[in-house]
Structure 1
Amino acid sequence: MSKVVVDKMAMQRALTRITYEIIEKNKGVNNLVILGIKTRGVYLAKRIANRLQKLENKEVPVVQLDVTKYRDDVKHTADDPKVADDDKISLDNKNVILVDDVLFTGRTIKSAFSAISELGRPDNIRLAVLIDRGHRELPIRADFVGKNIPTSRTEKIKVQVNEIDGKDSVEIIDK
């Protein structure tokens, strides 16, 4: 059984609010880089960057971040993908916005921090998530949250984005 808790319009409003909060917190978009955690975090990051560009009239780079080789719950091989889709990117002295779809235990974000260390030393890293569902195992919190959705451990959050799923929604699914 599933229940839609965020529809297309609610997702757009949440991402717009996050965008304004990013501008306010960073006092504009200078020196800003957005890292989208693969897979759905990338599409959310691109949407945020598009809104930033429209509001601030300045393009903000978006980098796809693959944290696979830093996961402690995945077997690793020599064929693990590159950390970033842009080999030339350096995060030295940048203000980084790390974007993911769901914040749950915090383990993906921990992996992302390790991946970021390969790309340089940013001035700061802030976390933006569409959904914060609680149940942290690590002391990690988001700076920008689209929606807090308290869940039980037996429930699953399913985020869908139009670019790959054909629609924008967030559902709670009973396992």
Structure 2
Amino acid sequence: MQKKLILDSDLLNITINRLCQQLIENHDDFSDTVIIGMQPRGIHLAEAIHKTLEKNIKQSIPLGYLDATFHRDDFRRRDVPAKASESRIPFIIEGKRVVLVDDVLFTGRTIRAALDALITFGRPSKVELLVLIDRKYNRELPIEADYVGKVVNTIASQRILVELQAQGHKQNKIWLINKD
């Protein structure tokens, strides 16, 4: 197994700050915007984005977590059933602009499931997708991110490993792994 470093801690901080600046340009005062992180791994990025945004705009922004496990089209097809996490959206999303946050965009199936799960909480006026890594050339559904930290050209046999301090790692590092 070969690992190639894609983003180190410093580059990740720069990337998060850039993504936040793009959000600020498009959402002004965030009065009608909520941020929702995808369980389980997207919540750490959502928390980092949320913290940086609130620091920069000096205003509170609603933050929630969404689990789409039971909305996945492969839920019953797996050898080992997917473990569900908690959805926690303690605010109204009806008529709001939702920024859905995940770490890696791969086939698009998780985001499709997330859109189905999101509708159970209300009908947002708009849903935007923010991802740290966009794996090009692997999409199975026509889903595209509005905000992308880094585009990585990958093949199906490769994978992305996101190691964040918020997950218990010593340093923030994003790896491209070749499965040999």
TM-score if structure 2 supplies the norm length? Answer: 0.90
For the residue of structure 1 that corresponds to 2:153, the secondary structure is: coil
Percentage of matched positions with identical amino acids:
36
- How far apart in 1 are the matches of 2:50 and 2:102? 14
Which runs of 5 or more residues in structure 2 are unaligned? none
- How far apart in 1 are the matches of 2:155 and 2:164? 23
Match of 1:7 in 2: 8
- Is the contact made by 2:35 and 2:99 (CA closer than 8 Å) also made in structure 1? yes
- Is the contact made by 1:40 and 1:161 (CA closer than 8 Å) also made in structure 2? no
1:25 aligns with 2:26: yes
Match of 1:43 in 2: 44
Match of 1:156 in 2: 159
- Is the contact made by 1:49 and 1:59 (CA closer than 8 Å) also made in structure 2? no
Question: What is the total number of aligned residue pairs between the two structures?
Answer: 172
- How far apart in 2 are the matches of 1:15 and 1:40? 16
1:50 Cα shift?
Answer: 0.8
- Is the contact made by 2:39 and 2:85 (CA closer than 8 Å) also made in structure 1? no
- How far apart in 2 are the matches of 1:20 and 1:139? 26
What letter matches 1:156 in structure 2? R
For the residue of structure 2 that corresponds to 1:50, the secondary structure is: helix
- How far apart in 1 are the matches of 2:168 and 2:85? 23
- How far apart in 1 are the matches of 2:97 and 2:21? 16
* Superimposed CA distance per residue, residues 111-149 of structure 1 (whole angstroms, 9 cap, x where no aligned partner): 000011001111101000000011111111000000001
Relative distance call for 1:75 and 1:94 in structure 2 (3 A) is same
- How far apart in 1 are the matches of 2:141 and 2:167? 30
1:147 aligns with 2:154: no
TM-score if structure 1 supplies the norm length? Answer: 0.92
1:89 Cα shift?
Answer: 2.3
- How far apart in 2 are the matches of 1:29 and 1:23? 8
Aligned CA RMSD, in angstroms, stands at 1.7
**Alignment equivalent of 1:133, drawn from 135, 155, 167:** 135
1:81 Cα shift?
Answer: 5.2
Which runs of 5 or more residues in structure 1 are unaligned? none
Match of 1:58 in 2: 59
Match of 1:116 in 2: 118
What letter matches 1:174 in structure 2? N
- How far apart in 2 are the matches of 1:170 and 1:22? 22
- Is the contact made by 1:32 and 1:94 (CA closer than 8 Å) also made in structure 2? yes
What letter matches 2:142 in structure 1? P
Q: Would you identify which runs of 4 or more consecutive aligned residues in structure 1 move more than 2 Å?
A: 79-82
1:165 Cα shift?
Answer: 3.6
